[in-house]
Structure 1
Amino acid sequence: MKKSTLAVLAAGAMVAIAFPQTATAGDRDHHGGEPIVIGHRGASAIRPEHTLLSYEAAIKLGADYIEPDLVSTKDHVLVARHENEIGGTTDVENHPEFTARRTTKTIDGVAVTGWFTEDFTLAELRTLRAEERIPDLRPDNTAFNGLAQVPTLDEVLDLARRNGVGVYPETKHPSYFDSIGLSLEEPLLQTLKRHGLDGPRAPVFIQSFETGNLKELRRLTRLPLIQLVNGSGAPYDWVAAGDKRTYADMVTPEGLREVAGYADGVGVATTRIVPAGPDGRLLQPTTLIKDAHRRGLKVHTWTIRPENSQLPVDYRLGDPASPAFPRATGDVTGWLERLYGLGVDGVFSDDPGIAVATRARLF
């Protein structure tokens, strides 16, 4: 492959990183060719997640897709946040004008206390600034606290189009947002269409942990849909309906057959591909990838993170007794090599540069 060098802003310094030039997101054969790399919430290992700073870094590091998690404002504008509760990802607690907005809500059956995007208009939300969500794990990212606003979906799509990358939006808590009259699906499709991203070959995947909204989307769009599969638990819409099935049932051959009726792939926790034993060490891989491919489903896996505490025990490096051990970088390339070797069609990575570089050596 032809090599190119891009200057990438990383950890507050300009660092030259070489990686292979690849086809644009819309051109790659995602099932039969190289696996795609999805910048998980951007490049969240080196920038506060779900900010334009993070998405820009992911693009410069070579990500094929950038991933905005979508929630709604009070005036029904879609914005990128990991959760609709924003106490941990913005400086809202420093705004006395919003003190009275702090409240407790039940989200997917769980009581959550904080500030919520659906209680703010976009104009109000824009007065806030983004902050690092997990500063103990990623202290360097706190240097960027206060520099970025909460981005809208429109801004994310503009950035992606200018740079020739795809977008991989997730609808967060769709049943909850439906229940308060702020459905996510219609404005998502309308915004994608406005940006010319509404055909089956558009560089877009739409993902959800629930099933009902994906089935609804299947009737409304030809865009590829991805059923997310957690490592435990069950889709909230199943729980709310009294359905006793779980995500484990979803990844059986019969469950995958059902998924193939409304989705184009599954986005699975890595433990669904390579489970861990009681001691945290990895066991033999499951047959999920083969079973999904037999049903014509792509398999994208999440999340590849560089820190020891976020890696399987087998791929951790250094002295576990060290206070810095949890946030120190482990053998993330070795973990990626194993997942690529098992035949995944894509990886969600907090540091997409490592995922792209590892892919370049293997394909």
Structure 2
Amino acid sequence: MRKITAWTAIAVAGMTMGIATGMTAAQAPGAGWATLDGTPPLVIAHRGASGLRPEHTLAAYEVALEQGADIIEPDLQMSRDGVLIVRHDPYLSSSTDVADRPEFADRRAERFGREDWWVADFTAAELQSLFARQTMEDRSDAHDDRHRVLSFEALLDFVEARQAECGCRVAIEPEVKLPAQYAALGLDPLPALIAALDARGLNAADAPVIVQSFDPEFLRRLDAVSDVRLAMLYSGPDEADANAGGLTLEEIAAFADGVGPYKANLMTPDGDSTGYVEAAHAAGLVVHTWTVRDDRAPLVGETVEDELRALYALGVDGVFTDFPATAVRVRAQMGE
């Protein structure tokens, strides 16, 4: 089992940020939470405050921190010239203005049965010339075409600037997307990730960083060369391409410090525990579940607040959300 060295550094980073954004004293560690270490569950801004701003933009991350998020999440793809780019999808049409850029018309290509523009076919400079757009049709597009696509380095610059402003630590939980596919293209993300973390003094077990992936082999490779904390993502047993490789929680604990299961794996529609959180905690793993959205039907109960209360009561250690303010507010109410 990996030695979880000062796992609460993430929680401490969150507490520090919470002081600046209104977290109450009742939410201090020891307030009776059912998390692995008894600290309050963390609010993780899913692609930033992506319900309010285009995902993975500085604006989305700024709003997330203003709303009290403890952690911000960047998804990482690889550019043609080997630079980590903050995007969720490997294609670009749904989240950027690439289709309206005539200079890139000839980059459209078919991959995986889809005609689109692909991150791996663009240089970092080209990608950062694109503007981000809201990906969900039922959300506001008022902020489309106002914010550039980010590199991971640009995000880390933003984090350092925010830390200097607030005198706090800003925690990040990057997800490395499709590492095996990129490695097959000669664009292995592991060296680029290690170099970025090394350059910022973040390649350490006590850094406010958790690296997540659906790819267990990538996490094993990373575990062999780094002490940074790791989380194994998990969609569910019916997801052949994202099911933690059929690994048990005990096997995952050999190379990871946490698990990121989809929320439906944790509770029944009636709100009863499936036993997953309890089993993960017994294996020494924290549980960061995804994704809670104010504008989507809740998994349990009638409102997103009902869903959040159920997840917090279950003992999850962190919740990914597109709307951090709601998750922060419900946590504060439960901590009173």
Fold shared, TM-score > 0.5 on shorter chain: yes
1:320 match: none
Task: Give 1:168 deviation, angstroms.
Answer: 0.4
Q: Distance in 2 between matches of 1:337 and 1:224?
A: 27
How many residue pairs match? The answer is 308
Q: Distance in 2 between matches of 1:235 and 1:263?
A: 21
1:337 match: 309
Q: Distance in 2 between matches of 1:291 and 1:232?
A: 16
Query: For the Cα contact (< 8 Å) 2:91–2:119, is it kept in 1?
Result: yes
- 1:353 paired with 2:325, answer yes
- 1:127 paired with 2:124, answer no
Matching of residues 28-39 of structure 1 within 5 Å: 31-39=37-45
1:167 match: 172
Task: Give 1:284 deviation, angstroms.
Answer: 2.6
Q: Distance in 1 between matches of 2:129 and 2:189?
A: 23
Q: TM-score, normalised by structure 2?
A: 0.86
1:53 match: 59
Partner SS, residue 274 of structure 1: coil
Q: 1:210 aligns with which of 211, 215, 221?
A: 215
1:290 match: 278
2:293 match: 305
Query: For the Cα contact (< 8 Å) 2:233–2:244, is it kept in 1?
Result: no
* Deviant stretches of 4+, over 6 Å: 1-5
> Residues 211 and 284 from structure 1, CA distance in 2 versus in 1: closer, same or farther, beyond 3 angstroms?
same
Q: Distance in 2 between matches of 1:332 and 1:283?
A: 13
Partner SS, residue 267 of structure 1: strand
> Residues 30 and 257 from structure 1, CA distance in 2 versus in 1: closer, same or farther, beyond 3 angstroms?
closer
Task: Give 1:248 deviation, angstroms.
Answer: 9.3
1:177 match: 182
Query: For the Cα contact (< 8 Å) 2:36–2:315, is it kept in 1?
Result: no
- 1:145 paired with 2:141, answer no
- 1:64 paired with 2:70, answer yes
| C-alpha RMSD of the superposition | 2.4
> Residues 91 and 257 from structure 1, CA distance in 2 versus in 1: closer, same or farther, beyond 3 angstroms?
same
Give % identity: 37
* 1:287-322 deviation per Cα after TM superposition (whole angstroms, max 9, x unaligned): 11111111100011100111134x22x434xxxxxx
Q: TM-score, normalised by structure 1?
A: 0.79
Q: Distance in 2 between matches of 1:94 and 1:104?
A: 18
Q: Distance in 2 between matches of 1:34 and 1:274?
A: 20
Query: For the Cα contact (< 8 Å) 2:214–2:244, is it kept in 1?
Result: no
> Residues 19 and 354 from structure 1, CA distance in 2 versus in 1: closer, same or farther, beyond 3 angstroms?
farther
Q: Distance in 2 between matches of 1:143 and 1:73?
A: 28
* 1:116-168 deviation per Cα after TM superposition (whole angstroms, max 9, x unaligned): 11111112112211111112x21x2x100010000111121122232331010
Please list every run of 5 or more consecutive structure 1 residues that lacks an aligned counterpart in the other structure. 7-17, 24-28, 238-245, 277-281, 317-330
1:200 match: 205
Matching of residues 99-110 of structure 1 within 5 Å: 99-106=105-112
Partner SS, residue 256 of structure 2: coil
Query: For the Cα contact (< 8 Å) 2:216–2:244, is it kept in 1?
Result: no
Q: Distance in 2 between matches of 1:194 and 1:5?
A: 27
Partner SS, residue 144 of structure 1: coil
1:86 match: 92
Partner SS, residue 37 of structure 1: strand
Please list every run of 5 or more consecutive structure 2 residues that lacks an aligned counterpart in the other structure. 1-14, 29-34, 164-168
* 1:323-352 deviation per Cα after TM superposition (whole angstroms, max 9, x unaligned): xxxxxxxx2112111100011111111111
2:7 match: none
Query: For the Cα contact (< 8 Å) 1:68–1:169, is it kept in 2?
Result: yes
Matching of residues 245-324 of structure 1 within 5 Å: 246-247=243-244, 249-250=246-247, 255-276=248-269, 282=270, 284-309=272-297, 311-312=298-299, 314-316=300-302
* 1:160-212 deviation per Cα after TM superposition (whole angstroms, max 9, x unaligned): 23233101000101111011011111101110111111111100000001110
Amino acid at match of 2:130: L
Q: Distance in 1 between matches of 2:240 and 2:215?
A: 5
